[in-house]
C-alpha cells in the first residue's frame, strides 16, 4: 500500500486541483513490469485510488523550507476535497476512484483486524474531525441493533469486567504515583537538557561565526581561483584558436600540395601523351619532308606565279614610291611658292602701311588748312555782317567804328613794326591831308566791299559743294568696302569652319575604324581561344573515355583469362580423379600398367587438346570482347585523325585571319599616315591664312579709319591684290 500526501498553499485552494490530480496520477512510485523501482505510476498500473481527507494544512515558505502550522477551514476543505474527487474521476477511471465514505459503508459488517491508537482530540478540533466522530457514532448506533442479541452474554461478562476495573483502578493509582515521580525526574532532566542546549547553542553560534568567516575566506579563495581559471580558460581558448588556425593553414597547405601533386601527375600523363603524339608527328613530318623533297609540278608552277606576283608587287611599290616622291616634290614646290608669295605680300603690306601713314599725315595737314580757311571765312562773314549793320546805323556810329578800325590798323602796324605799310594804306584811302567828299569815298569802299563779299561767297559755295560731294563719295566707298570686307570675312570663316569640321570628321572616322578593327581582332582572338579550349576539352574527354574503355577491356581480358585457367585446373583435377579411379579398378599388372599409362597419356592428350583449343579460341579474334576492343581502337584512330584534321583546318583559318588582320593593320597605318599628312597640311594652310588675315585686318582697320579718298584708293588696290579681286569686282567696288 502506497500513501500520497498533498500539501496545499492558501493561494492555490481552487486553482491547482488539476495540477494535484496530474501529480497523483503521474508520480512514479511503483515497480514497473521489468522490476525497475520507481518506474511506474498509478495510471500505468491501473490501480484503485482511495481518497481520505482527515485534515488539510496550508504550507508557507520560510526561506527554502515549508512550514505547516495552519489548517484549512471545514467549508473550504470539504469543497476542495469534493472538487478534487470530481477532477480525479474525470481524469482517471471513475470505478477505480474510491471515497472514504463508500469504503466505510462497504466495510461496516467486517471485523477490525487491527487497532489504531489515536491521540485525544480536544473540543477545539477542526470541523472535519467532528464530522468523522459523528460518522463513528452513526456506525455505533447501527451496531447497537445487532448487539441486542448479545446483551445477555455481556451481562455475564460485566461482573468480570467490574472486577477487572477495580484491579485496573488500583493499578492506575500506582501508575499515577509512578508517573508523578517520573514527571519530576523528567523535569529535572529537562532543565539539565535546556542548560546543555543553551551551552550547545552558544557553541553553535561561535562555530557558526567561525564557519562563516572561514566560508567567506574560502569564497574569496574560490573567487580568486575562479578568476585564475577564467584567465587560464581564456589562454587555453586562444591557444586552441591558434592551434585551429595552424591546423586550418596546414590543411589548406596540404590540400594545395595534394592539388599540385594531382596537377603534376596530370601534367606528367599529358607530357607522356604529348611525347607520344610528338613522336607520331615527327614521323609524319619526316614522311612529309620526304614527300616535299620531291617537288611536284604544281609547286613549280606556284613558285613561278609567286615570283611573277613578287615582281609585279615590287614594280607597283616602286611606282607608288615614285608617285609619292613626285607628290612630295610638288608639295615642297607649292610650299616654297606659298612662302615666296607670303613674303611678297608682307613686303607689299609694309609698303601699303607706309603709304597709309603718309596719307594720314597729308590728311591731317589738309584738315588743318581746311580748318584755317573755315575760320577765315567765319571772320569775313562776321565783318560783312557788321558792315551791313553799320551801313544801316547813324554816321556817328560809323565814324566811331572807322576810328576803331584805324586804331586797329595802327596796332597791326605797331605789331609788324612797319609804319610805312600803315601810312601807304592811309594814303591809298586818302585819309591823310586830303579833303575829299566823305560820301564818295564811303560809297567806293562799300562797292569794293560788296564785290569782295560776292567773290568770297561764290568761292565758299563752290568749296562747300566740292567738300560735300567728296564726303558723299567717301561714305559710299566706305560702306561698299565694309560690306565687301564683311562678306569676305564671312566666307573665310565658313571655309575655315568647314575645314575644321572635315578634320574632325576624318579623325572621328579614323577612331571609329581603329575601334572596329580592334573589336574585330578581340572577337577573332576570343573565338580562337574558345575553339582551342573546346578542342582541348574534347581531346581530353576522348582520351579519358578511350583510356577507361581500354582499362575495362583489360579487366575483361584478365577475368576471361582467370576463368579459362580455373577451367583448366578443374579439368586437370577431374583427370587426376579419373586416373585414380581407373588405377583402383584395374589389376596391378605391368602390362595393364603399361596399357593404362598409354591410355592415360592418350586421354590426357585428348583432354588437353580441347582445353588448348578453348584457350586459343578465347584469345583469337573470333571472340566478341577482343573484336570490340579492336573496333574501339579503330574508332579512336579515326576520331583522332578527324580531330587532327580539324585542328589543322582551324590553324590554317587562324593563320589566314592573322594575315587578314595584318593586312588590315597595314591599310589602317597607311590611312592614318595619309590623314596625319593631310591634317598637317591643313594646319599649315590655316596658319598661313591666319597670318594673311592678320595683315588684311590691319589694312582694313586703316582703310576704315582714314577719310582721305586717295589713301583709301591705294588701300583698296592693295586689298584687291591680296584677295585677288576680279576686274568686275573691282569695278563694282569703285563705282
pLDDT band at 331 (very low <50, low <70, confident <90, very high): confident
pLDDT band at 386 (very low <50, low <70, confident <90, very high): low
- Gap between the Cα atoms of 470 and 92, Å rounded: 144
Which three three-digit cell numbers place residue 190? 529537562
pLDDT greater at residue 615 or residue 384: 384
pLDDT band at 605 (very low <50, low <70, confident <90, very high): very low
Count Cβ atoms within 10 A of the Cβ of residue 702 and give its class: 0-12 exposed, 13-18 middle, 19 or more buried.
buried
Q: What confidence score (pLDDT) does residue 592 get?
A: 46
**Triad 53, 59, 62: Cα angle to 5°:** 160
pTM (two decimals): 0.20
Which three three-digit cell numbers place residue 147? 448487539
pLDDT band at 618 (very low <50, low <70, confident <90, very high): very low
Which three three-digit cell numbers place residue 101? 465514505
Q: What is the pLDDT of residues 46-103, one digit of tens each?
A: 888 888 765 555 555 566 555 555 566 666 777 778 888 888 888 888 888 887 654 4
DSSP helix/strand/coil, 25: helix
pLDDT at 411 over 50: yes
Q: What is the pLDDT of residues 298-318, one digit of tens each?
A: 667 767 777 787 787 778 778
Minimum mean pLDDT among 144-148, 267-271, 664-668: which range? 144-148
- Gap between the Cα atoms of 179 and 183, Å rounded: 6
Please name every residue paired with 58 in a beta bridge, in sequence order, or none if there are none. 8, 70
Q: What is the pLDDT of residues 417-471, one digit of tens each?
A: 444 555 555 555 555 444 445 556 666 666 776 776 666 666 656 655 665 665 5
What residues contact residue 686 under an 8 Å CB cut-off, 6+ apart? Answer: 496, 499
Minimum mean pLDDT among 1-10, 145-154, 163-172, 646-655: which range? 1-10
- Gap between the Cα atoms of 299 and 304, Å rounded: 9
Q: What is the pLDDT of residues 199-218, one digit of tens each?
A: 988 988 998 899 888 888 88
pLDDT at 188 over 60: yes
Cβ atoms of 91 and 85 within 8 Å: the answer is no
Amino acid at each position: 500500500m502506497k500513501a500520497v500526501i498533498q500539501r496545499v498553499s492558501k493561494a492555490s485552494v481552487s486553482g491547482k486541483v488539476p495540477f494535484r490530480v496530474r501529480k497523483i496520477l503521474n508520480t512514479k512510485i511503483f515497480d514497473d513490469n521489468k522490476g525497475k523501482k520507481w518506474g511506474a505510476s498509478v495510471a500505468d498500473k491501473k490501480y484503485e485510488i482511495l481518497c481520505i481527507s482527515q485534515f488539510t494544512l496550508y504550507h508557507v515558505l520560510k526561506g527554502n523550507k515549508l512550514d505547516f502550522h495552519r489548517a484549512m477551514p471545514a467549508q473550504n476543505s470539504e469543497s476542495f476535497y469534493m472538487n478534487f474527487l470530481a477532477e480525479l474521476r474525470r481524469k482517471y477511471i471513475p470505478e477505480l476512484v474510491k471515497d472514504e465514505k463508500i469504503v466505510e459503508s462497504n466495510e461496516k459488517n467486517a471485523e477490525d483486524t487491527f487497532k489504531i491508537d489515536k491521540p485525544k482530540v480536544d473540543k477545539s478540533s477542526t470541523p472535519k474531525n467532528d464530522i468523522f466522530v459523528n460518522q463513528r457514532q452513526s456506525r455505533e448506533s447501527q451496531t447497537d441493533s445487532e448487539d441486542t442479541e448479545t446483551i445477555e452474554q455481556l451481562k455475564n461478562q460485566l461482573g468480570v469486567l467490574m472486577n477487572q476495573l477495580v484491579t485496573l483502578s488500583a493499578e492506575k493509582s500506582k501508575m499515577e504515583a509512578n508517573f508523578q515521580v517520573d514527571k519530576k525526574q523528567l523535569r529535572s532532566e529537562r532543565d539539565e537538557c535546556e542548560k546543555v542546549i543553551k551551552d550547545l547553542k552558544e557553541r553553535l553560534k561561535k562555530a557558526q561565526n567561525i564557519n562563516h568567516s572561514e566560508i567567506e575566506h574560502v569564497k574569496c579563495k574560490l573567487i580568486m581561483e575562479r578568476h585564475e581559471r577564467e584567465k587560464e580558460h581564456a589562454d587555453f581558448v586562444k591557444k586552441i584558436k591558434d592551434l585551429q588556425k595552424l591546423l586550418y593553414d596546414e590543411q589548406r597547405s596540404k590540400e594545395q600540395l595534394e592539388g599540385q601533386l594531382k596537377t603534376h601527375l596530370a601534367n606528367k600523363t599529358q607530357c607522356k601523351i604529348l611525347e607520344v603524339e610528338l613522336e607520331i608527328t615527327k614521323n609524319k613530318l619526316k614522311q612529309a619532308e620526304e614527300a616535299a623533297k620531291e617537288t611536284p609540278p604544281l609547286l613549280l608552277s606556284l613558285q613561278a606565279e609567286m615570283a611573277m606576283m613578287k615582281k609585279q608587287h615590287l614594280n607597283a611599290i616602286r611606282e607608288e614610291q615614285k608617285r609619292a616622291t613626285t607628290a612630295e616634290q610638288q608639295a615642297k614646290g607649292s610650299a616654297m611658292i606659298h612662302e615666296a608669295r607670303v613674303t611678297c605680300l608682307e613686303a607689299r603690306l609694309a609698303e601699303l602701311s607706309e603709304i597709309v601713314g603718309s596719307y594720314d599725315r597729308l590728311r591731317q595737314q589738309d584738315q588743318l588748312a581746311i580748318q584755317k580757311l573755315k575760320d577765315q571765312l567765319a571772320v569775313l562773314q562776321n565783318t560783312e555782317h557788321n558792315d551791313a549793320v553799320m551801313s544801316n546805323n547813324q554816321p556817328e556810329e560809323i565814324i566811331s567804328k572807322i576810328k576803331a578800325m584805324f586804331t586797329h590798323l595802327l596796332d597791326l602796324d605797331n605789331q609788324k613794326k612797319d609804319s610805312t605799310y600803315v601810312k601807304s594804306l592811309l594814303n591809298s584811302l586818302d585819309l591823310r591831308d586830303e579833303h575829299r567828299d566823305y560820301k564818295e569815298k564811303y560809297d567806293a569802299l562799300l562797292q569794293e566791299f560788296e564785290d569782295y563779299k560776292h567773290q568770297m561767297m561764290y568761292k565758299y559755295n563752290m568749296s562747300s559743294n566740292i567738300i560735300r560731294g567728296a564726303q558723299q563719295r567717301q561714305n559710299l566707298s566706305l560702306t561698299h568696302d565694309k560690306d565687301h570686307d564683311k562678306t569676305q570675312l564671312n566666307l573665310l570663316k565658313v571655309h575655315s569652319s568647314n575645314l575644321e569640321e572635315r578634320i574632325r570628321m576624318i579623325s572621328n572616322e579614323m577612331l571609329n575604324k581603329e575601334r572596329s578593327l580592334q573589336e574585330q581582332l578581340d572577337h577573332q582572338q576570343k573565338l580562337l581561344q574558345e575553339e582551342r579550349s573546346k578542342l582541348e576539352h574534347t581531346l581530353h574527354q576522348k582520351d579519358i573515355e578511350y583510356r577507361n574503355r581500354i582499362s575495362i577491356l583489360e579487366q575483361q581480358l584478365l577475368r576471361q583469362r582467370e576463368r579459362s585457367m580455373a577451367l583448366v585446373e578443374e579439368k586437370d583435377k577431374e583427370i587426376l580423379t579419373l586416373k585414380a579411379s581407373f588405377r583402383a579398378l584395374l589389376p596391378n599388372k605391368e602390362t595393364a600398367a603399361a596399357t593404362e599409362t598409354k591410355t592415360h597419356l592418350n586421354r590426357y592428350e585428348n583432354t588437353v587438346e580441347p582445353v588448348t583449343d578453348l584457350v586459343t579460341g578465347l584469345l583469337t579474334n573470333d571472340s566478341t570482347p577482343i573484336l570490340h576492343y579492336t573496333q574501339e581502337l579503330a574508332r579512336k584512330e579515326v576520331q583522332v585523325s578527324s580531330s587532327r584534321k580539324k585542328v589543322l583546318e582551324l590553324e590554317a583559318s587562324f593563320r589566314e585571319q592573322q594575315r587578314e588582320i595584318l593586312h588590315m593593320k597595314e591599310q589602317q597605318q597607311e590611312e592614318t599616315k595619309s590623314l596625319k599628312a593631310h591634317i598637317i597640311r591643313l594646319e599649315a594652310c590655316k596658319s598661313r591664312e591666319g597670318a594673311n588675315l592678320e595683315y588684311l585686318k590691319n589694312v582694313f582697320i586703316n582703310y576704315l579709319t582714314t577719310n582721305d579718298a586717295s589713301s583709301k584708293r591705294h588701300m583698296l588696290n592693295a586689298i584687291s591684290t591680296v584677295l585677288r579681286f576680279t576686274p568686275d569686282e573691282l569695278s563694282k567696288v569703285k563705282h
